[in-house]
């Protein structure tokens, strides 16, 4: 079980007394991550994979150790399957640019997606004439594998789904979808931005071909992220950039790219950030991902039950057993942005408001053209914070009535 009071001591940002419920946008950073990045900048700041001198050797070793740690973090078979990117969006775009699409091919995605797992596929439609089919979730935001059975056919080249919804917290049945995709010879990309920070992810069990995550949502630095590329499909992907660090041999006739993850990491990478991301992954492993999930589920239930009992509050999405720690809601008579501002002014509560970069979901599935307020939890949030939030909401409901 998690000792939350102990965990809170690791996060210097909490000393300001804020109630931070915008974790789906970005998490806070523990001291161990800040210290690790500082260590790089103070002790062995240099470029990697280039120098034979000890400073560069140390930086290179730390960087490659980050690859091993992140492979362990998501259950990859081989560290070479880990490509460092700046965020989930970049990871997904590398796949969208790197696969070969022909007119008539099909991409299947869903109406649950963040724009980062939607726009790259819509652009493939404009550029290559592929068909993009969107699987619709239920009104509560749950995806049914039977809908994928109908949508995926032998022309389908790629299925792209989120692992966890950033608006509703619902968890996608990835394994079932992987089976359907592979039966038709399609590849599966999973957007893990909202899952990797909160769940024990095992890409081998999920059987996906690509998995993208962002470091800044999982206690790591901004500018760090991972694109997992299954070893067997790596050759099918053309790197987005070529240049320094990606090549094995060059002469005036041409060049031969490296075979490993370096072929996707052109130029000097975000070395300090990747080293910080390693510390973040180690930190989450040390807390125990099952403990993190259990803690968030418990608080999520409190949020859901508390909000559902309030007059005039509409809570979107399914009941707590079908989701993680993200809850979207509205209070009748208040615009979501006004409600978010009031929560901040009254009690220093940070929540997100608006469309959450998921306009088709919020507008078409939830039917909320003004958006919603979104409360998203993490490992350092407490039952007391949820209580303060709920009592602030109760007060507001009384004032509005
Ligand atoms: C589900 C999902 N996918 C992708 C992203 C994009 O993440 P990033 O901005 O780190 O690229 C987000 C960010 O909120 C997200 O929630």
Element (H, E) at 125: helix 119-128
Do 121 and 263 belong together in one domain? yes
* End position of a domain, from candidates 286, 315, 339: 286
If one counts the domains in the chain, the total is 2
Cβ of residue 170 lying under 6 Å from some atom of ligand 1: no
Query: What is the rounded average pLDDT of the residues 240-253?
Result: 95
Atom of ligand 1 at shortest distance to CA of 217?
10
Q: Which of 166, 273, 360 to mutate to test the pocket of ligand 1 (most atoms within 8 A of CB)?
A: 166
Nearest CA to ligand 1 atom 15: 193
**One-character DSSP codes across 294-328:** HHHHHHHHHHHHHHHTSTTEEEES--GGGB-SEEE
Smallest Cα–Cα separation from 106: which of 147, 150, 143, 152?
Answer: 152
Burial class of residue 181 (count of CB atoms within 10 Å of its CB; 0-12, 13-18, 19+): buried
- Kindly report the number of other CB atoms within 10 A of residue 41's CB atom: 11
Q: What is the pLDDT of residue 227?
A: 98
Q: Which of 94, 95, 112, 116 to mutate to test the pocket of ligand 1 (most atoms within 8 A of CB)?
A: 116
Smallest Cα–Cα separation from 221: which of 275, 153, 140, 160?
Answer: 275
CA distances 359 to 69, 116, 355, 362, 365, Å, are: 35, 11, 6, 5, 9
**One-character DSSP codes across 342-354:** HHHHHH-EE-EEE
Do 251 and 337 belong together in one domain? no
Burial class of residue 392 (count of CB atoms within 10 Å of its CB; 0-12, 13-18, 19+): middle
Query: What is the rounded average pLDDT of the residues 342-365?
Result: 97
Residues 123-179 have pLDDT tens digits of 999 999 999 999 999 999 999 999 999 999 999 999 999 999 999 999 999 999 999
Cα–Cα dist 289/356, whole Å: 25
* End position of a domain, from candidates 218, 252, 286: 286
Confidence of residue 14 (pLDDT cuts 50, 70, 90): very high
Do 252 and 211 belong together in one domain? yes
Cβ of residue 234 lying under 6 Å from some atom of ligand 1: no
Q: Which of 124, 208, 219, 357 is an active site residue?
A: 357
**One-character DSSP codes across 3-27:** -HHHHHTT-GGGGG--EE-BTTT--
Percent of the chain with pLDDT over 70: 100
Do 180 and 320 belong together in one domain? no
Atom of ligand 1 at shortest distance to CA of 26?
14
Do 99 and 22 belong together in one domain? no
Cβ of residue 116 lying under 6 Å from some atom of ligand 1: yes
DSSP letter (8 states) at residue 164: B
Smallest Cα–Cα separation from 261: which of 277, 274, 275, 245?
Answer: 245
Residues 212-229 have pLDDT tens digits of 999 999 999 999 999 999
Å from CA of 394 to ligand 1 middle: 31
Nearest CA to ligand 1 atom 16: 166
Cα–Cα dist 61/373, whole Å: 43
Do 282 and 294 belong together in one domain? no
CATH of the domain at 16: 3.90.1150.10
Atom of ligand 1 at shortest distance to CA of 163?
1
Do 153 and 271 belong together in one domain? yes
Residues 256-287 have pLDDT tens digits of 999 999 999 999 999 999 999 999 999 999 99
Smallest Cα–Cα separation from 368: which of 106, 167, 102?
Answer: 167
Do 133 and 195 belong together in one domain? yes
Do 46 and 179 belong together in one domain? yes
Query: What is the rounded average pLDDT of the residues 88-105?
Result: 97
Cα–Cα dist 351/21, whole Å: 5
Structure tokens at 244: 């320094």
Q: What is the pLDDT of residue 190?
A: 98
Q: What is the pLDDT of residue 195?
A: 98
Q: Domain range for residue 349?
A: 4-30+289-400
Task: Read off the pTM.
Answer: 0.98
Atom of ligand 1 at shortest distance to CA of 191?
3
CATH of the domain at 151: 3.40.640.10
Nearest CA to ligand 1 atom 12: 193
CA distances 349 to 338, 339, 368, Å, are: 13, 11, 23
Smallest Cα–Cα separation from 219: which of 203, 205, 202, 198?
Answer: 198
Cβ of residue 93 lying under 6 Å from some atom of ligand 1: no
Do 168 and 316 belong together in one domain? no
Residue 50 has pLDDT above 80, yes or no: no
* End position of a domain, from candidates 226, 256, 286: 286
The verdict on whether 219 is a catalytic residue reads no
Q: What is the pLDDT of residue 401?
A: 77
Do 274 and 334 belong together in one domain? no
323 touches 317 (CB < 8 A): yes
Residue 342 has pLDDT above 90, yes or no: yes
**Angle between helix 31-43 and 54-74 (nearest 10):** 160
Do 380 and 322 belong together in one domain? yes
Å from CA of 249 to ligand 1 middle: 36
Q: What is the pLDDT of residue 52?
A: 85
């Amino acid at each position: 079980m998690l000792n939350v009071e102990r965990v809170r001591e690791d996060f210097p940002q909490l000393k300001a007394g804020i109630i931070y419920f915008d974790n789906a946008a970005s998490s806070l950073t523990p001291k161990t991550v800040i210290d690790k990045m500082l260590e790089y900048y103070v002790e062995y700041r240099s470029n990697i994979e280039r120098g034979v001198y000890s400073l560069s050797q140390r930086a290179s070793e730390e960087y490659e150790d980050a690859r091993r740690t992140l492979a362990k973090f998501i259950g990859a078979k081989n560290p070479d399957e880990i490509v460092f990117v700046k965020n989930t969006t970049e990871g997904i775009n590398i796949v969208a640019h790197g696969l070969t699409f022909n007119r008539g091919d099909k991409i299947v995605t869903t109406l649950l997606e963040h724009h980062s797992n939607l726009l790259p596929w819509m652009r493939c439609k404009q550029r290559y004439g592929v068909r993009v089919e969107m699987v619709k979730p239920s009104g509560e935001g749950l995806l049914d594998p039977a809908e994928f059975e109908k949508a995926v056919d032998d022309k389908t080249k790629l299925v792209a789904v989120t692992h966890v919804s950033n608006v509703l917290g619902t968890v996608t049945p990835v394994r079932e979808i992987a089976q359907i995709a592979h039966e038709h010879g399609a590849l599966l990309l999973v957007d893990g931005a909202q899952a990797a920070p909160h769940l024990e992810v095992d890409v081998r069990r999920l059987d996906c071909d690509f998995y993208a995550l962002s470091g800044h949502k999982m206690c790591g630095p901004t500018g760090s992220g991972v694109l997992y590329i299954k070893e067997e499909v790596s050759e099918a992907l053309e790197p987005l950039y070529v240049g320094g660090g990606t090549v094995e041999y060059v002469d005036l006739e041409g060049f031969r790219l490296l075979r490993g993850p370096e072929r996707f990491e052109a130029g000097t990478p975000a070395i300090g950030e990747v080293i910080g991301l390693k510390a973040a992954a180690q930190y989450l492993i040390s807390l125990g991902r099952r403990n993190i999930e259990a803690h968030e589920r418990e608080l999520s239930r409190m949020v859901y039950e508390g909000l559902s009992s309030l007059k005039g509050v509409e809570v979107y999405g399914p009941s707590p057993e079908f989701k993680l720690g993200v809850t979207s809601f509205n209070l009748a008579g208040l615009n979501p942005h006004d409600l978010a501002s009031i929560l901040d002014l009254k009690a220093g509560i940070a929540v997100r408001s608006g469309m959450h970069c998921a306009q088709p979901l919020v507008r078409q599935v939830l039917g909320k053209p003004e958006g919603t307020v979104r409360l998203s939890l993490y490992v350092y949030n407490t039952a007391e914070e949820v209580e303060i939030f709920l009592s602030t909401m109760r007060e507001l409901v009384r004032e509005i009535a």
